[in-house]
Amino acid sequence: MFIMAVVFEQYLEKQYLTFLINETYTSDKYVLSAEKEYLQFSIKHLVDSGSKISLDTGLINDANAYAADPDALDLRLALAQDVRLIVAQYAEDIEAVAIVKNTGKILYQVERAFGASGINLFWNNENRTYLDDMHTNLKQIISASTLPKYALSVQPNNLSVVSHDVEITHTDRLVHMAFALPGSTNKLTSENAFVVVSFKLGCVDDFLEQMEQNPKGYSKAYITDSNQMILYSDRIEDTGKKFNPEISGKVMVLTDTISRPQWNLNIVIDRNKMETYVHSSYLKGMFFFLMALLLIVFLQILFIRRALRPVHEITKGMERVQKGNLDNRIRIDGENEIWQLAMRYNNMADSLSQQKQETEREYQGKMLSVKRAGEAEMDALQSQINAHFLCNTLNAINYSAIEAGDEEVSDMLKKLSNIMQYVFSRNYRFVTLGDEINWLEQYLSLQKFRQMDSFDYRINFPEIYRDWPCCKLFLQPFVENSIKHGFAEKDSRCLIDVCGCSEGNRLVLTIEDNGCGMTLEQNAKVRELISEKAAINLKGTGIGLENVTARMRLYYGSGFEIDFRTQTGSGTIFILKLPIPEILKGENEKDENSDS
């Protein structure tokens, strides 16, 4: 058996090593492909955010004005306010923001984690070289008309905030992007200042941590530049070194490349560690197998020698019981299975009494547990306070209004309660167009009551589309725009018309009002705001429209379309074209196959 086990162990060792290598290679290849897509998306998102910041009208005006007159305190305060608003708005991504004059002088900088701001924080004398290099690269990119117009650097790789010689915060794996701020001519080649935004690459952290989660340490992740210099790894000390995985022995290297910036994603699989682990595991297995085999042989010999002795004792004891000696007990002189059988016979009567006592104790224990569980549940219910408390309070006030005979107040309270329950609900994914239309109708009713019946509304929506899934609260910004802006200067009777109709496999939703319409300038700003390449956060045009348009594009993809028509004094109409959701496409295909 041992010789057969040794031969079989060698075969299994080779097979398992092959399996482990193939599985590790396949899983790491999938992780590498997914990380590539994720990193490309993250970099694009950061570039879009930085471009949007660099095109902020208020920031451009204040930065260029302060660059021209650095002694003006009011201009410095205005620039500080702009920078802090940017950090607050993009707090999830941004670690630091710096405004730098075209000559290289730092005008203002702020760090999100510490909340400190001034002129000698992150970009100090120690890191100044990297800042100057980014500025030089940015000028070359602008001169070469390369799009998008930004310069990127990963140095310095970390952000450390120190106060009174004590480190307050520390952030690793940063990427810095420099964007030009256009001057008065609105051309990038005439910039007076530029903005440097420092982002934390969370996707890189996820990538490296996922590789570190392997308890055996087979795989290591590295991100390198086009010159094979290490940009990011799980060890900070590797940053800036030459990537040379062959030093560690037999390895397999998986590599994939993203185009902008030109980075290489590398996963190094250490075959030496795999072979050592597999060989060590099977040596341990063979050792334990040998020990078990020897133990079995020893126990078998011992059992055969002692097995016959208790049989005679048990036979004599059972003969005494057969003669009527019920008080007789078998004398126990061993611990093997047969002696245990005799012991159980002797203890059978005593065990019945013990079982009764144990049953009573178990019953009391369970009753005590139930009592304590009930008390804990009551404490939890008494201490639970959530958002539904407000809705329940509104319902209580509603009952009071009903008892007082005030049906109008009761109706308004009921609608307000429904609106708040819909908003408080955590169900973001499974909301239907029917839910959204019902909520919109109650919202318009409350707005009409609040505006003292200054407008009317109509909703005409086909029942067949009410089960379509949709984004939550996507119609509210459009009707709110009509009430807040469209009817602001309207003297005659105002009307909001919400209509839905089919167009092939799409649903066309229109939100129309007969308000004051938009000027040509407002028209251009709103059209830029809802476009796919919108990059400016325009003031006074409704950030809700930008938010809901972005959510709709993420939800429906390229099949979603939005447009609007407006004319000064003649109202505005927004047109939303919704494609059939993916979940319904699958059901329709099943229905068609079943029909065929």
The C-alpha atoms of residue 251 and residue 234 are separated, in whole angstroms, by 18
Taking residues 263-281, what's their average pLDDT? 83
**Using an 8 Å Cβ cutoff, are 509 and 562 in contact?**
no
What's the DSSP call for residue 149? -
Q: What is the mean pLDDT of residues 370-381?
A: 40
Query: Residues 583-592: pLDDT tens digits?
Result: 666 565 555 5
In this prediction, residues 45-74 reach a mean pLDDT of: 85
Residue 581 phi, psi dihedral angles, 5° rounding:
-65, 155
pLDDT value at 474 more than 50: yes
Distance linking the first and last C-alpha atoms of the chain: 62
pLDDT reading at 354 higher than 70: no
Confidence of residue 483 (pLDDT cuts 50, 70, 90): confident
Angle in degrees, CA 319, 320, 324, rounded to 5: 115
State the maximum Cα–Cα separation within the chain, in Å, rounded to a whole number. Answer: 121
pLDDT at 458: 93
CB-count exposure of residue 270 (10 Å: 0-12, 13-18, 19+):
buried
Average pLDDT score over residue span 504-530:
88
pLDDT digits (tens, 9 = 90+) for 186-241: 454 445 688 888 888 777 777 777 776 665 677 888 888 888 888 787 777 777 78
pLDDT band for position 377 (50/70/90)?
very low
Identify the pLDDT of residue 535.
34
| pLDDT on residue 498 | 94
Please state, in angstroms and as integers, the Cα–Cα distance from residue 423 to each residue in 222, 426, 437, following that order. Answer: 44, 8, 14
